[in-house]
Structure 1
Amino acid sequence: MFLRVTERVFIECFSSTQPLIDRVVALFALYTFHNTQPSSSAPPILVSPNIAIPIDIYEEMVSLPLNLTAPHLLRLRPYVVHILTSLLDARLFEILPHSSLRAQNPSVLPREVFVIEGQDASTVPQPAAHEDVVDEDGASLSKKPKKKKGRPSKRDKARKAKDALASLEKYVDKNTVYLIDEASQQPLGPGSEPESTHVVLGQAPHTSLGNYLARKNDLLATVSDDGVGMSDRQVALRRANEAVLERLRQIDAMAAEKGLEVGGEGGEKTGLKRVERAVEELRQGSGSCGILGLLEGAGLGTLR
């Protein structure tokens, strides 16, 4: 089976869709491969006595010398004629029906088709054995081979990654907006390079922001000081701030163990440092509501 499949791969290169130089190389390879089989061994080894070839591919192979008319291929014509004559005189070929009838077993060899980078895979010519069988009325009698199962090849993964990256770049370019200062109507950012972000992040969430502020004000009004002393509700607010701060410290420590960084991209104005300052402001009773005041600028001052 190995011998037959190998010879079949060489024979399929004789198709008219292949370049002439590829057909010449396939003929030399078929001649060399078939004639270097072991003629005697102990114990005896199976050999392939004949070369199975469809009638249409056989005609393409026989007419190969007539197609070598280009100046750079003309010098190969005597060698091609000699090899073809040797194969035909030895009566090695076993003529099969037309390749469209798929008389070989299996009818289609599984393979990976080489695609040049940047070329559409749908435009790559397939071997002749892949053509559909049609009846007298032109109706198809066979179905297109299904995509092979199993894990994708490295080439497929690379192609999908490039397509995904190109789609992401188009999406980012289409949905990028520049940040504008609402007061001065000037672009934000240093110098002549305005800051950009996604269109969703560039628009203030007025509805959700209003709901958040209303609920927060109700909460702060409920836990506010009654003028006599620190109420139990304000103690609960401090404990909640301390609990959130401790949890953030644990997350930061766990990230540091894995070599990660949490919330440090914005410097001192973001992340754990700002939360610590906001909680400290609440401890000092400076009128801050702790982490509930981050939206209004809590934690931006300097610790005393």
Structure 2
Amino acid sequence: MSSRGHVVLQPAYFTSSIYVKALRDDITTLVHTFHERYQQDNTKPFALFKTLWNGQGWKWMHFRVFDSRTRETFLSTTIRLFLERMVKTEAPFTRTVALFALYTFFNTQPTSSAPTLYTLSNIPIPVDHYNSLIVLPTALTTAHLAPLQPFASYAIGSLVNASVFHLLPSSELGALNPREVPREIFVEEGLIDSNQPKKKWHTSKRDKVIKARTALDAVGRSLEQASPAPEARRTALRYEEQKGRLLREIGSDATNLREASEGVAQRLREAQEEQGENVQAWAGLARVETALESAGGMLRLHSSG
């Protein structure tokens, strides 16, 4: 008898926008909360940080995933997001809080759990970011930031002496893997990702429905602008009846949509035969026939007509 399967998060989850965006927001919350509390009492900065770290649930982060393959991506992505708040373009206070978070997260990896969990032994960092990190304590000299300086110096010295930093080429060369995070962009159903250009030769069912509705609205406007004679008004009423039928069919299979589209055109042809060629509304018929011909039997928006 086979053993019961286990649900395992795939590594791609931790490089996707779902995880990356949420963690970035959490890091920002940690920074802001620490800043508020630090303004009230800055006598023991790192003790205050540990209180917030535990209180916000960061101490449970290491138990989010246990599969070694996925855990490696989880750890490297999390550390990378701490590092990105430590670059020299960030405010010194933010950089220091991110340093505290990196130091705490890296040094609290479980080493005596059963079963044994995968742990990171080094921290990849571009050489330019490393150089700016090493001199961070020199930026903490103002009266407001001075209480942070000895703790920042200790955290950096501890990590450097343990040789945990793995130096990579300069950040402008994109040596981190993946080059950018998030790598996978999650798009909710029904929304379009504007960053992903569509292939010109592919038309989705949703696009066809939108174009069909647009074409119907265009024909309706043409009929409204036609002569107010009784014949034209009757033609407009017939059109509205057929339009309602077509809209009810939209969203079903292509065969029904094609039949409904042809029904609209056929009703307009019959009305033309009954009332003659001099009714202005027949511009609408020409538009419908052109749309049908160009869309393979289904109404869609067409630039001519």
Both proteins in one fold, TM over 0.5:
no
Asked which structure has the greater RCO (Cα within 8 Å, sep 6+), the reply is 2
TM-score normalised to structure 2 length = 0.38
TM-score normalised to structure 1 length = 0.39
